[in-house]
Amino acid sequence: MSALFNIEPVSLFVMLFAVTLGKKCIYPIYIYIAMEFLIFGLNLWSVNYLYIWLILAIAAFLMRDVQHPAAWAVLSGGFGLLFGLFCTPVYLIVEGWRYALAWWINGFLADILHCCGNFFIAFFLFVPLRKHFTRLCRDFCKKS
Amino acid sequence: MKKWKIVIAVVALVLVAALMLGIYWLTRNGKHMLGSKDITVTVVYADGTDKVFTYHTDAQFLGTVLTESGLVEGDQGAYGLYIKKVDGHRAVYELDQAYWQVFVGEEAAMTGADQIELHDGDSFKLVYTHA
């Protein structure tokens, strides 16, 4: 899906892992992060990636009792909208507040697109996929 | 979760997105409000064609803009940033007998890109150069 700028299923899967695996969701999340580093190399964004998906995972875990698809869409959309903000601490430290602020504002359009993509993907897919993930996890846990 | 809470959350999301869009539009029209700099980088490829990239940045050095934007890939060497790829086009001396030469305006840079300070209105060139 790399051709679709800022449209990604990662947020959906992070939320699904968080609600079905609990604390063990860090394993698939950091395997994903390691794959990103291997494929795309290391850069300043790599530092962002070390903590940014944890934010969503923790929020999803705290919301695990919520069932309504729109609520999950808001969480995922809100995360996409604030993605740039969550990335700015790295640039704040490396380049200073003026650069960090300019960098964040320059990315507003990308964040809005990220929000829209995340919102609709989560709205339509989170609830049905959660049922399947929960069943898969239960079956896997039984066998192991 | 009660439905009215979800409705409020959706409305809040839309409002924040609208606010961000408004701020983005305002800063495009009042681009010096944040004290940012506009620079241009012209890439001259091996076949002689060129492409101009413009940046609106508050970075202090050229190297920061080039790497953060993804225009260049390179390594940190003893003399600073060694540019290996520009816009996906490789020029590594040992492999291609070519390199990417950096120009500040029309003059060849005397330092690496990560040591070239940026000022508003600056123009740079990255020229594919055969050794």
- Per-residue model confidence (pLDDT) at position B3: 84
Model confidence over B34-82: pLDDT tens digits? 446 889 999 999 998 999 998 888 888 899 899 888 899 988 877 778 8
Percent with pLDDT over 90 in chain A: 62
Please identify every stretch of chain A with a pLDDT value under 50, giving residue numbers as ranges.
none
Facing residue for B1 by CB, picked from A44, A68, A102: A68
Residue type, B114: D
DSSP secondary structure, B65-117, as one string: HHHHTTSEEEEEETTEEEEEEETTEE--HHHHSEEEEEEETTEE-SS-GGGPB
CB atoms within 10 A of CB B5: 12
Report residue B115's pLDDT band, with 50, 70 and 90 as the boundaries: confident
**Nearest residue of chain A to residue B23 (CA atoms):** A105
Are A108 and B23 within 8 A, CB to CB? yes
Inter-residue contact B1 to A66 (CB < 8 Å): yes
To test the contact with chain A by mutation, choose from B3, B4, B5, B6 the residue with the greatest count of A C-beta atoms within 10 A, namely: B6
Q: Can you give the pLDDT at residue A71? A: 94
> Are the beta carbons of A116 and A101 closer than 8 angstroms?
no
A64 touches chain B (CB under 8 A): no
Confidence of residue B18 (pLDDT cuts 50, 70, 90): very high
Given a cut of 50, is residue B31 above it in pLDDT? Answer: no
**Total-model pTM:** 0.64
pLDDT tier at B33, thresholds 50, 70, 90: very low
* pLDDT in the model for residue A10: 93
Dihedrals phi, psi of A108, to nearest 5 degrees: -60, -40
Handedness of CA A51, B55, B92, B89 (dihedral sign): positive
Sort residue A90 into left (φ over 0), alpha (ψ -120 to 50) or beta. Answer: alpha
The strand pairing partners of A85, in sequence order, are none
Contact A105 B57 (CB under 8 A): no
Euclidean distance between CA atoms A6 and A103, whole angstroms: 16
B10 interaction partners in chain A (CB closer than 8 Å): 70, 73-74
pLDDT band at B30 (very low <50, low <70, confident <90, very high): very low
d(CA A30, CA A28): 6
B130 torsion bin: left (phi>0), alpha (psi -120 to 50), beta (else)? beta
DSSP annotation of A24 reads G
In chain A, what residues touch B59 (CB-CB under 8 Å)? 95, 99
CB < 8 Å to B64, chain A:
95
The rounded radius of gyration (Å) of the Cα atoms in chain A is 16
Checking if the pLDDT of B27 tops 80, the result is no
